[in-house]
Structure 1
Amino acid sequence: MSEAKLGHLPKPRNNPGRNLPVAIGVGAVLGGLSLLAVWIGPVGWYPLVAAAVAVATWEVVARLREHSYHIPRMPMLLLGQLMVWLSWPFGTTGLVAAYVAAVLSIMFGRLFYHGRTTPPQNYLRDTAMSIFVLTWIPLFASFAAMLSLISSDGVSGSLYIITFMLCVVASDTGGFIAGVMFGSHPMAPAVSPKKSWEGFAGSVIGGSVTGALTVSLLLGHEWWIGAIMGVGLVICATLGDLVESQFKRELGIKDMSNLLPAHGGLMDRLDGMLPSAMVTWLVLSVLGS
């Protein structure tokens, strides 16, 4: 291609901010593992979600403990697993029961964190943060796990998971491309200076179009339902990104960990997927009922 033709291509307004070849390679590996788990079914999908919950919880709790928060690591990991696994045989009933049990365990256990004879320190702060983490990671992730249990009119749960995954990928890709190429109007500069309205528009287009196509072609429902679901997914994913950005800003860290090259920690990849999984499950479970 000649230099004259190249000169007509739009130049990116912003730096991607990461090693794209490495990031794409890591993303391809994660995507391959996810597709394998989807193909196996709930027997493969549930362990994958449970493992992701454990790693993400470990990352977040570790960062909080480094900044003087007294968060019980092992109870948080075990309670998170309880929430995920009880949602398999008992659905939302099991999930809610496990979540309530987890909250009560944290509320009561934190009273005696320093023993019976020493008054608790920073009780409200640490209890609130522990409940926040339980909600943010295992509660929302359980809805992603339960996508594998939806089935209707011969449509397997695997197709519902694929619908969710394709919408997330389309949202991320559309937002990334639009943000890098055209981003110039910050959405929430006090929280995340790099997130732009142009990037959000790209996410909305990618998520809604993909939602319309997948819900129509894969699940056999009206396309406009998928478009609405896609927009809801994008809104929750964007707000999830902003929540994690503020979380890291208050702790003064760039990434949750260095587990994934060119990505940061696992939680840095799940931040938008977790709340959007709840919206996706809500819409798709209604369709599958």
Structure 2
Amino acid sequence: MTEPEHHHRSMRMPKPKNNAGRNLKAAIGVGVGLGVLVLLGILLSPWGWYIVVSGAMAGATWEVGSRLKESGYHLPMPIMIIGGQAIVWLSWPFGTMGILASYVATVLVLMYFRIFYNGADKEARNYLRDTSVGIFVLTWIPLFGSFAAMLSLMENHSVPGTYFILTFMLCVISSDVGGYIAGVFFGSHPMAPLVSPKKSWEGFAGSVVLGSVTGALSVHFLLEHHWWLGVILGCALVVCATLGDLVESQFKRDLGIKDMSHLLPGHGGLMDRLDGMLPAAMVTWLILSVVSSSYPV
């Protein structure tokens, strides 16, 4: 072997240890399309962002409800979707009080109408099971999603609300990219093999590193605040996003399905994209609320 040939071989990139498990071309195309839609929502915030978030919540609720119906669950979908929209939209004028009031009202209506789902003259079978699943879906999708919507209402000094949404989205994307790359190239220790075999501790570490670095840079340069709050944001967001991924994986495992739907080629269903983002939105709103209300002098 000649010296140049040996040098060329030594410079090769490491081979991936794992398969990505998706159609990359389709995934990238759909990802770009979704990115453009999200960017439009950010630029036209707050109303544009609320339309994007509320539309996603309605679609995700319908998608999850459809899979539950196929598995024999009975949920009054009009109540689920209309109530979910109320939870999101009432956060605009009333903040967290609007979220809480509309959530409780929707749960109460769900509890009542599930009794008569099969008609007033028929017994309400599986009432506790179906009502519990309905409350789970309302919490999982519109309740968590309403915190993402409220990011557009944040504003302080010279920092516009769009920068708070942008910080959230940049951290979410960085978490996904960091986890994807580290998982594909280095993943060898499964995090929860019985729930999600492809999710590894190496991938989680990649998410934490890239998510916290992006959080620090975004909070420092975009939000003009302490960089270390961005590190906390990145780490907390990654933890919540990972837990959200595992919850959705267990949900699909219970129903015996691989994807929520085939709505997004290369990605699966809408909820397959939102699973980690929704709980991450809650902790992001909490930390960025501290940022927006306590600027350093």
Q: 2:265 aligns with which of 261, 266, 277?
A: 261
TM-score, length of structure 2 as denominator length: 0.95
Shift of 1:5: 2.8
SS of equivalent residue, structure 1 residue 68: coil
**Does 1:71 find its partner at 2:75?**
yes
Question: Relative to structure 1, is the Cα distance of residues 110 and 205 closer, same or farther in structure 2, using a 3 angstrom cutoff?
Answer: same
Shift of 1:54: 0.7
Give the Cα–Cα distance (whole angstroms) in 1 for the partners of residues 283 and 6 of structure 2: 46
Counterpart mapping for 1:48-127 below 5 A:
48-127=52-131
**Does 1:135 find its partner at 2:139?**
yes
Shift of 1:107: 1.1
Q: 2:169 aligns with which of 160, 165, 170?
A: 165
Give the Cα–Cα distance (whole angstroms) in 2 for the partners of residues 158 and 5 of structure 1: 46
Give the Cα–Cα distance (whole angstroms) in 1 for the partners of residues 223 and 181 of structure 2: 28
Give the Cα–Cα distance (whole angstroms) in 2 for the partners of residues 24 and 6 of structure 1: 30
Deviations 1:189-231 (A, max 9, x none): 1110110000000000011010011001110111111101110
Aligned-residue CA RMSD (Å): 1.3
Deviations 1:228-278 (A, max 9, x none): 111000000000000000000110111111011111111100000000000
Give the Cα–Cα distance (whole angstroms) in 2 for the partners of residues 254 and 103 of structure 1: 29
Q: 1:273 aligns with which of 277, 281, 285?
A: 277
Q: Tell me which residue corresponds to 1:192.
A: 196
How much identity, in percent, do the aligned residues show?
Answer: 65
Give the Cα–Cα distance (whole angstroms) in 2 for the partners of residues 64 and 6 of structure 1: 52
Give the Cα–Cα distance (whole angstroms) in 2 for the partners of residues 28 and 6 of structure 1: 34
Q: Tell me which residue corresponds to 2:8.
A: 5
Give the Cα–Cα distance (whole angstroms) in 2 for the partners of residues 191 and 272 of structure 1: 15
Give the Cα–Cα distance (whole angstroms) in 1 for the partners of residues 151 and 185 of structure 2: 34
Give the Cα–Cα distance (whole angstroms) in 1 for the partners of residues 47 and 110 of structure 2: 30
Q: Tell me which residue corresponds to 2:152.
A: 148
Question: Relative to structure 1, is the Cα distance of residues 11 and 103 closer, same or farther in structure 2, using a 3 angstrom cutoff?
Answer: same
Shift of 1:114: 2.0
Give the Cα–Cα distance (whole angstroms) in 1 for the partners of residues 128 and 203 of structure 2: 37
Q: 1:41 aligns with which of 23, 40, 45?
A: 45
Moved more, 271-280 or 111-120: 111-120
SS of equivalent residue, structure 1 residue 193: strand
Q: Give runs of ≥4 in structure 1 deviating > 3 Å.
A: 1-4
Count of aligned pairs: 289
Moved more, 19-28 or 2-11: 2-11
Deviations 1:57-93 (A, max 9, x none): 1100000000000011111111111111111111111
TM-score, length of structure 1 as denominator length: 0.97
Give the Cα–Cα distance (whole angstroms) in 1 for the partners of residues 87 and 281 of structure 2: 15
Structure 2: gaps (5+ residues): none
Deviations 1:94-121 (A, max 9, x none): 1111000011111111112122332210
Q: Tell me which residue corresponds to 1:210.
A: 214
Q: Tell me which residue corresponds to 1:232.
A: 236
